[in-house]
C-alpha cells in the first residue's frame, strides 16, 4: 500500500454528519498528527471563516488549526489574486467570502468590476442579483464558489449557492467558473497551499460526485469512505473508481 505524505480531507460525511461527529474521524486525525503528516480540511462552505470551521471541529474533539482549513472562498480569492492581483470584485456572499477577498487584498466595488464572485447568501435580494448581472454583462469574469443547487438543513433541502448562481447565468447567458468541488480548481489551490507534489497527496471523502471526482480530475489518488453520501452499492454503478475504498477511517489508520 502506497504511503502518502499529505492529505486533503472532506468534512461533512467524512469528519462529521451535521452536528454529530464521526467517531473514527477523531482517531484518524490523531494518527495523522502523531506521524506529523500535513493535511487540509477542504470544504465547499463559503459562508464561514477558517477559524469558525476549526472551532466546530475542535468542539467535536477533532483536532484542527485555522491554517488547516481550506474553503471555497479561499480558493476563489486565491484564483482571482493569481490571475489579477489588483482586481476589483463585486461579491454576493456571507462573512467567509468577504473575509477571504479582504485577506487577498482584493478591492470590492459595485460597478465595472473585473470579477463577479458568488457565494451562498441567505439575505439574497433582487438588487444584489441585478448588480451581479450588470457587471457580468459589462465584461466581468464570473466565478461561483460551488454548484450546489440544494443543501440539507433541519428544515429539509433548501436552495444552495448553485441556485443563486443559476439566476445570473440564465439572465446573462454566461456560465461561471465554479471553484468548489467537484471542480478541480479548489483541489489545485489546496495542493499549492500544502506544497506537495500530487503523487504524494491523497484526497479523502464520502461523496463520489464532489470529493472523489474533484480529486480524480485534479490528478490525485482518492480514498472513499462509506460513512456519508455514497454507499458501496452506489459505487458499483460508476465507471471511474476511487483509488481506494474503506468502510471507516479507522480501517485506514494502519496504512498511514
Residue 201 has pLDDT above 90, yes or no: yes
Q: How confident is the model at residue 42 (pLDDT cuts 50, 70, 90)?
A: very high
Query: Of 129-133, 169-173, 187-191, which gets the smallest average pLDDT?
Result: 187-191
217 in catalytic set:
no
Which helix (H) or strand (E) segment is 99 a member of? helix 95-103
Residue 151 has pLDDT above 90, yes or no: no
Farthest-apart Cα atoms in the chain, separation: 55
DSSP assignment of 111-141 equals SS-SEEEE---TT--HHHHHHHHHHHHTT-E
Residue 3 has pLDDT above 80, yes or no: yes
> Global pTM?
0.89
* Full set of structural domains in the chain with CATH: 6-44+181-255 (3.40.50.1000), 76-178 (3.40.50.1000)
12 in catalytic set:
yes
Mean pLDDT score, 222-228: 93
Average pLDDT, the chain: 94
For residue range 51-68, list pLDDT tens digits in order: 999 999 999 999 999 999
Is residue 41 within 8 A of residue 64, CB to CB? The reply is: yes
Measure the CA–CA gap between 70 and 51, rounded to whole angstroms.
Answer: 10
**Residue with the three cell numbers 454529530:** 20
Residue 155 has pLDDT above 80, yes or no: no
| The pLDDT of residue 204 | 97
| The pLDDT of residue 154 | 64
Amino acid at each position: 500500500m502506497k504511503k502518502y505524505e499529505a492529505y486533503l480531507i472532506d468534512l461533512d460525511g467524512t469528519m462529521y454528519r451535521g452536528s454529530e461527529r464521526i467517531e473514527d474521524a477523531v482517531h484518524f486525525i490523531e494518527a495523522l498528527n502523531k506521524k506529523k503528516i500535513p493535511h487540509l480540511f477542504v470544504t465547499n462552505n463559503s459562508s464561514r471563516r477558517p477559524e469558525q470551521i476549526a472551532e466546530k471541529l475542535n468542539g467535536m474533539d477533532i483536532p484542527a488549526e485555522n491554517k488547516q482549513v481550506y474553503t471555497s472562498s479561499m480558493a476563489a480569492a486565491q484564483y482571482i489574486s493569481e490571475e489579477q492581483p489588483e482586481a476589483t470584485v463585486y461579491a454576493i456572499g456571507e462573512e467567509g467570502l468577504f473575509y477571504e477577498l479582504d485577506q487577498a487584498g482584493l478591492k470590492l466595488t459595485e460597478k465595472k468590476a473585473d470579477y463577479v464572485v458568488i457565494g451562498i447568501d441567505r439575505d439574497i435580494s433582487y438588487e444584489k442579483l441585478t448588480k451581479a448581472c450588470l457587471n457580468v454583462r459589462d465584461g466581468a469574469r464570473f466565478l461561483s464558489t460551488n454548484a450546489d443547487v440544494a443543501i440539507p438543513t433541519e428544515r429539509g433541502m433548501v436552495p444552495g449557492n448553485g441556485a443563486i448562481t443559476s439566476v445570473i447565468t440564465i439572465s446573462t447567458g454566461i456560465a461561471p467558473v465554479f471553484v468548489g468541488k467537484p471542480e478541480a480548481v479548489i483541489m489545485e489551490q489546496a495542493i499549492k497551499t500544502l506544497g506537495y507534489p500530487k503523487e504524494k497527496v491523497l484526497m479523502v471523502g464520502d461523496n463520489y460526485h464532489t470529493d472523489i471526482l474533484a480529486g480524480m480530475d485534479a490528478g490525485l489518488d482518492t480514498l472513499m469512505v462509506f460513512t456519508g453520501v455514497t454507499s458501496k452499492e452506489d459505487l458499483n454503478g460508476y465507471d471511474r473508481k476511487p483509488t481506494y475504498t474503506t468502510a471507516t477511517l479507522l480501517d485506514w489508520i494502519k496504512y498511514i
